[in-house]
């Protein structure tokens, strides 16, 4: 029985200044929320680390969650999207290039569920 899908996305070659910009990350989250027709529960949470650190963000969804961890010192972001209902795969490469300046993305998709 499938209980959803999860995307694990590693974005490399990102613009360090965007990885430290909570507004840029919030805009990325908003585009995912609209694109995937997700329902936000509560307020998104953002933790900004001291220099040279990045930001960790979490949006709780009725469908599960959307998270990001950024590492500006490495030009890297780790994104996680988990949806309890199947959805079409977003164009992660284009979205992360536009919002974070990512040069490349490695996307892994996992089908989540119960095995008998």
CA 97 to chain centre: 13
What domains are defined for the chain?
Answer: 8-71 (3.60.90.10)
**Backbone phi and psi for residue 54, each to the nearest 5 degrees, phi listed first:** -110, -140
Whole-angstrom Cα distance, residue 5 to residue 80?
A: 11
- Asked about 106 being catalytic, the answer comes back as no
pLDDT by residue for the chain (116 residues), tens digit each?
Answer: 677 899 999 999 999 999 999 999 999 999 999 999 999 999 999 999 998 899 999 999 998 999 999 999 999 999 999 998 888 999 999 999 999 999 999 999 988 876 66
pTM for the full model? 0.91
Q: Are strands 64-71 and 55-61 parallel, antiparallel or unpaired?
A: antiparallel
Assess contact for 38 and 61: CB atoms under 8 A.
Answer: yes
| Active-site hit among 12, 65, 69, 74 | 69
Return the SS3 of 42. Answer: coil
Active-site residue 84, yes or no?
A: yes
Nearest Cα to Cα of residue 12 among 93, 112, 104, 81: 104
Which one is catalytic: 64, 83, 99, 105? Answer: 64
Predicted local distance difference test score (pLDDT) of residue 102? 98
Alpha carbon distance, N-terminus to C-terminus of the chain:
9
Whether 104 is catalytic is no
Torsion angles phi and psi, residue 90, rounded to 5: -70, 160
């Amino acid at each position: 029985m499938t209980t959803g899908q999860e995307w694990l996305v590693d974005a490399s070659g990102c613009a360090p200044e965007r990885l430290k910009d909570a507004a840029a990350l919030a805009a990325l989250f908003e585009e995912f929320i609209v694109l995937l027709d997700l329902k936000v529960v509560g307020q998104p949470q953002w933790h900004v680390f001291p220099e040279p650190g990045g930001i960790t963000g979490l949006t709780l969804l009725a469908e599960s969650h959307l998270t990001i961890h950024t590492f500006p010192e490495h030009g890297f972001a780790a994104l996680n999207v988990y949806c309890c209902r199947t959805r079409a795969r977003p164009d992660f490469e284009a979205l992360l290039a536009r919002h974070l300046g990512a040069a490349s993305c490695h996307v892994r998709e996992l089908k989540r569920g119960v095995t008998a």
